[in-house]
Structure 1
Amino acid sequence: MTYPEPPTIEAEVDFKVEGARKPCKTWYTIFGDLKSGVRPLVCLHGGPGAAHNYIRPMRFLAITHSIPVIMYDQLGVGNSTHLPEKMGDGKFWTVSLFLAELDNLLKHLGIQDDYDIIGQSWGGLLGACHAITQPKGLHRLILANSVASMTMWVEAANSLRRDLPKDVQDTLLAHETDGTTDSPEYETAMEVFYRKHVCRVNPYPKDWEDTEAAIKADGTVYLTMNGPSEFFITGTLKDFSIVDELHKIVVPTLLLNGKYDEATDYVMQPFFDKIEKVKWVRFAESSHTPQLEETDEFLRVVGGYLKA
């Protein structure tokens, strides 16, 4: 289905970052009317460092369910301040930094006392970390295609890799072993995994291509915190886990993943086991990006949950 474009505002907010040694700004965009009286939805993109573009279909919730939708580019990517000089600086690029950025945006918009959050992939991990602190204004949480334990993520990725053609597996392993993951051969082999488990729309939608372009333009955050690919995790998040803290999430929570998702049921299970008020929906025709792969159904599920 084709949807009309919602009213849109783009702006920036100053974000004071210790150690940045220069002024920083977070770019954001609002779809719909923040003054409508309807609780707004704040969308957290993945990566880390993947930019907001590929979650843009979520903006249509402003049309289908009259929900004001807020998206932003996290520090270091897209339209927000870039810090390429911080490449590899694991002490700078931390979960705490991005939690502070989220809090700063909520306060700037004046919605810190009443809002919902949807976090996709890394954005879900970030959203869960936010919810663990039990902020008074958070009403509902949606964790889409996300992860609570990076060790479990890697285990799931390794299992999915074993189902790839042997020549693809061999190419991936050879370049990972040799430290040549920036080679064209590795990228070609990587695409085989991505086409099966990350985004199954062919050709890729423009929103997805725009996000890929953003990572290629500045991979500082992605390479530092994640690593060369979705399934070869070498960055600072490699051993990160919030499994033992998930019981602190007290708001109603919706879990989303796809049948072919790299965020497998095994990866999502800790959220379901540990969060008391939880519901889980799986998209039958999607992998990691149901907002792109099954847009209509995604809007129906998410909008219906938020309006229930």
Structure 2
Amino acid sequence: MPFGKYQTYYRIVGEKSTKAPLLLLHGGPGSTHNYFEVLDDLAKKGHRQLVMYDQIGCGKSSMPDDQADQVYNQETWVKELIALRDYLSLDQVHLLGQSWGGMLEIIYLCDHAPKGVKSGILASTLPASWMWGKELHRLIKLMAPADQAAIARAEASGDYSAPDYQRANAKFMEQHCSAAPAADNPEPLRRKKRAGTVAYLTGWGPNEYNPEGNLKNYDYLDQLKELTTPMLITSGTDDLCTPYIAKTMADRIPRSQWQLFEYCRHMSFVERHDDYERVIIKWLNAND
């Protein structure tokens, strides 16, 4: 899709039907659509099209890293989402945003009040950057003292290159995110990709628990009560999106439900794939 002087890669799975498509917004910023491919079978099971895409700054879309400060921000990514709906004539649609994609979904719904959004799914996401940082630092306090100390030193110095920090951060991410391409992960998670490292650093920061990028002031807590779209919140018990964060969203969004997946980290749809699909098929059908 042409997007200004850039291009946005999109991928459509399944045939058109009478049901509104499900448009998937990936995380990061910069994580690519790849991991959403584990949901491809949902198109056949649920009899609806899936639409996924790589946001500007990663994957098969344009990556203008030399213009990061001007391009990699929420304004660009919201405009891209609006442009994609228009380009593909997605007049009626359901949204599923995971992690940063859920933030993008909240921004889009709250600030733009788009027409034709039948429902939203907020997967392992957050209503405010400060809350994410606070909760993840609480999780860090559950780590071994040596790992806590390594992370604290890196945060104090601003130097995140030390081997002991790298090891501690890898442990944290393995425990709560499962971001590493482990051998037993589905192929889309193991596949080599053009990760949007610059987009992530510019938008978010050096790691998950230090939001220092241009999204650091993201805070939609007070606006959640104004959402009129039916919203399903999904998260895992061992998620970066802690039960406290998920419940905060569920309590504030008027027409919401919350599904907590036991023993899951940041990608419940990978770790509890069949259960997750059953939940969202039921949700989507109820809100068509």
The TM-score, its normalising length taken from structure 1, stands at 0.87
Give CA deviations for 1:204-230 in whole Å, capped at 9, x if unaligned.
62433447x533xx4111001111111
Match in the other structure for 1:275: 253
CA distance in 2, matches of 1:292, 1:57: 7
Q: Shift of the alpha carbon at 1:94?
A: 2.1
SS of the equivalent of 1:239 reads coil
CA contact (8 A) 1:75 1:82 kept: yes
Confirm or deny: 8 A CA contact 1:140 1:251 kept in the other structure: yes
Which residue in the other structure is 2:23 paired with? 42
Deviation at 1:238, TM superposition (A): 1.7
Task: State percent identity of aligned pairs.
Answer: 30
CA distance in 1, matches of 2:168, 2:53: 31
Aligned partner letter, 2:148: Q
Q: After superposition, where does 1:1-308 map in structure 2 within 5 Å? A: 13-16=1-4, 23-33=5-15, 35-87=16-68, 89=69, 91-111=70-90, 113-132=91-110, 133-199=112-178, 203=183, 205=185, 206-210=187-191, 213-215=193-195, 218-308=196-286
Is contact 2:140–2:172 with CA below 8 Å preserved after alignment? yes
Q: Distance in 2 between matches of 1:245 and 1:171?
A: 37
Aligned counterparts of 2:2 and 2:63: Cα–Cα separation in 1 = 13
Between the aligned partners of 1:299 and 1:62, the Cα distance in structure 2 is: 10
Count of residues in correspondence between the two structures:
283
Q: C-alpha distance in 2, partners of 1:230/1:196? A: 13
Distance in 2 between residues matched to 1:138 and 1:283, nearest whole Å:
25
**What is the Cα deviation at residue 84 of structure 1?**
1.1
Structure-2 residue corresponding to 1:8 = none
**Aligned-pair CA distance for 1:180:** 2.5
Cα-to-partner distance string for 1:57-79 (whole Å, 9 max, x where unaligned)? 12221122122101000001010
TM-score normalised over the length of structure 2? 0.92
Aligned CA-pair RMSD = 1.8
Shift of 1:184: 4.2
For structure 1, the 5+ residue unaligned runs are 1-12, 17-22
Identify the residue that residue 7 of structure 1 maps to in structure 2: none
**Aligned to 1:285, what secondary structure does the other structure show?**
coil
Secondary structure of the equivalent of 1:262? coil
Q: Find the residue that maps to 2:233 and give its secondary structure.
A: strand
| CA–CA separation in structure 2 for the residues paired with 1:231 and 1:63 | 37
Q: What SS class does the counterpart of residue 282 from structure 1 fall into?
A: strand
Amino acid in the other structure paired with 1:190: N
Per-residue deviation, 1:188: 2.1
Paired AA for residue 166 in structure 2: E
Q: Residues 95 and 187 of structure 1: is their aligned pair in 2 closer, same or farther, counting only changes over 3 Å?
A: same
